[in-house]
Amino acid sequence: MTKSNTADINPNVIFTYIPNLIGFTRVATALLSFFLMKDHPRYTTIIYGISCLLDAFDGMAARKYNQSTRFGAVLDMVTDRCSTTSLICFLSVIYPTYYILWQLLVSLDLSSHYMHMYAALSTGSTSHKNIDQSQNVLLRLYYTKKSVLFTVCMFNELFYMALYLSYYDFMLVPGLAITFPQLLAYVSLPVWFFKQVTNVIQLAGAAYTLAEIDIKEKSQSKKE
């Protein structure tokens, strides 16, 4: 495609791609859930859940219609991070005793994904989900197996939602001395913990990748 033909393409077309429209819907449903979060836990669960479930469909649409874009990849990651962070912020309101934990979780989530994406783009990758064989085995499993990625992300959000719902009055599970949200929290805890481990690995790996780039650039400048 020539430079003149490229200039004739309106960038607004990218915003009308099906996966990006799904992404915008995710943003809208997430925002709506924030407004409902304080007083309407059941509605919040449904609407926030829709936002999370749509995360599985934007990637499918991008592959099916050949509409993968850098904007879509960034929109996907930013929506994920903002949604999770906002939910954790509300957890810090209803469970203020654990404010240090909430701060650490938000910091780990944001820093690991930002550094990972920046490192990926710095090495020429078009998406933070493109992992080569040199990466940690857990990180390769997380990003290259779509079923694993979806399951881990789902249970990660389920854990936080379970903690959120546990604050409200729900009936006890028959035969157990805990409510259904508390049961969900226990069930999703191991996968949530795995997600935090991958975040740490991701952060360390991205830091090492960026340091390698720095060394190469400094070596190149010395030769010149």
Closest CA to 161 of 93, 108, 88: 88
19: its two tokens = 């996966």
The C-alpha torsion from 14 through 16 and 17 to 20, rounded to 10°, is: 90
Q: Give the model's confidence band at 7: pLDDT under 50 very low, under 70 low, under 90 confident, else very high.
A: low
pLDDT in the model for residue 39:
94
pLDDT in the model for residue 134:
66
Which tens digits make up the pLDDT trace of 78-136?
999 999 999 999 999 999 999 999 999 999 999 999 998 888 888 776 555 656 666 76
Which tens digits make up the pLDDT trace of 47-73?
999 999 998 898 889 888 999 888 998
Confirm whether 80 is a catalytic residue: yes
Catalytic residue among 80, 132, 169, 214: 80
Higher confidence at residue 87 or residue 141?
A: 87
Which tens digits make up the pLDDT trace of 152-168?
999 999 999 999 999 99
Phi and psi angles of residue 93, each rounded to the nearest 5 degrees, phi first: -80, -45
Q: How far is CA 193 from CA 154, 181, 220, in A?
A: 13, 18, 41
pLDDT in the model for residue 182:
95
Q: 12 pLDDT exceeds 60?
A: yes
Q: 9 pLDDT exceeds 80?
A: no
51: its two tokens = 């936002």
The domain spans of the chain are 3-223
Give me the CATH topology for the region 3-223. Four Helix Bundle (Hemerythrin (Met), subunit A) (1.20.120)
